[in-house]
Every structure is written in structure tokens, then in C-alpha cells.
Amino acid sequence: MTNKILIIEDEENIARVLQLELEFEGYETDIAYTGTSGLIKYREGSFDLILLDLMLPEMHGLDVLKRIRATEQATPVILLTAKSEVEDKVKGLNLGANDYVTKPFEIDELLARIRNSIRFAKPKSSEKPAEEKDIHLLSYGQLSIHEQTREVLYFDKSVDLTPREYDLLLYLLKHPKQVLSREQILEAVWGFDYFGDTNVVDVYIRYIRQKLGLVNSTAIIKTVRGVGYVLKESAHET
């Protein structure tokens, strides 16, 4: 089966060259010249890989990436970046991009990265029967997380989290009403090989609280002074 690639690139000459090279290699392609149109084409179509420029009109490439990864993790995304965009490369990888190439790039290198990304792409989950669809939905109070789509809902509104913020909130949600120390959280979310300051937990808790607070001021993550944190819906809960 022919793989289909979505090219989101505002420079028409570059987009056209990419299209010709990819179609010569046997890929099907589609092109979008703005971030908004690229996101629409992604949502309306089915693609095996996305080539995503960062500096796009209407919507920045990182914002496009965030919305793609809020939907699913399977489709590989390769960023097309300028040499000066080091910070954006890091942000992109943290947001779930699979790889990046720096402009100007050699087409042979890009083709190799495309083949590699498609080869190791996560299999896309098939549609499940209705009774099985919510098997990965975790909820506590007004907070819900769907593990398959990584969608976070608070008071029925979507919350946009970074991968690390998501992992931290998911860990808290899997242990509701349980007081968790900073060390426990570090070990579970950052891993055994993390040697940084435990204050990083406080920083990320603050980020998550700010984002949840934009939806509703109810504080669901409580601080247990001298210990750590607990996910608890209200003060009167026992």
C-alpha cells in the first residue's frame, strides 16, 4: 500500500520540490500552505507521515503539532526548521515530534528520515466496539484523562498539557486521595536515572494548576506541607 504524506510548508517552491521528490519515490502527497489549512487537511484525511514547517502563517507549526498530539500519537511528524530555531526544535521534540531536519537539507537525508519514521511508527489503533471504547478513560471528580488519545478534560473542557505535565497529572489521577511524596513522583514520572532537584515537581505542579485554573478555579491538586501532593476533589472529602 502506498504511504501518504502531508506537507505543511508555506514556501511554495520548497513544497513543490518536496512533492515532486516524494512522488518520484512512490509516495502520495498533499500540500497545505498555512498552519490552519494543514490542521484541517490532517483532520479530514489519513496520512502516514507529516512534514511540518515551523514558521507558518495563521498558526505556528508548534501549535499545529500540539493539536495533532492532543488527538493521537501514532502519525510520525518530522519538523522542517531553520538553523536558528534551536529552542523550537527542543520544544517540538518535547511536544511529540519524531524527528527534524534543518533547512537547507539534502533530499536523500530527508527521504532516509521519512523511511525510518514510517518504519518505526506506532500502529494506529482500529475502531473498537462501543462497549470497549472507554476502557482507557480515567476519571476523578471533574477531571478525566483518556490514555489512548491523551485527551485531558476538566469540567468537560479540554486542557492542553505538555508530555511531562500529562505524565505527572496521569500519575496523580491513578492514585487519587493518596498523598504522594516528591520522591515518589520523581521516580514514577522522571525515572530512576533522574538526578535533578526535587523542586522540579513543584514547578510542574504549578504549571498544571495554572492550566486547570484557566478552566475552573477549583483546586483539585492539594499541597501536603513537608510531604508532597494529593489529588483530592474538595476539603470536605474524607
Write the pLDDT tens digit of every residue in 47-93: 999 999 999 999 999 999 999 988 888 899 999 988 776 788 888 88
On whether the CB atoms of residues 56 and 64 are closer than 8 A, the answer is: yes
Domain boundaries, the chain: 4-119, 130-231
The answer, yes or no, to whether residue 236 has pLDDT greater than 50, is: no
> Full-prediction pTM beyond 0.95?
no
Q: Each residue of 191-219: b (16+ CB within 10 Å) or e?
A: eeeeeeeeebbeebbebbeebbeebeeee
pLDDT score for 122: 64
Tell me the pLDDT tens digit for each residue of 183-219. 899 888 887 555 566 688 999 999 999 999 999 988 8
pLDDT score for 103: 87
Tell me the pLDDT tens digit for each residue of 109-130. 999 999 999 988 766 554 444 4
Fold of domain 130-231: Arc Repressor Mutant, subunit A (1.10.10)
Fold of domain 4-119: Rossmann fold (3.40.50)
The answer, yes or no, to whether residue 174 has pLDDT greater than 80, is: yes
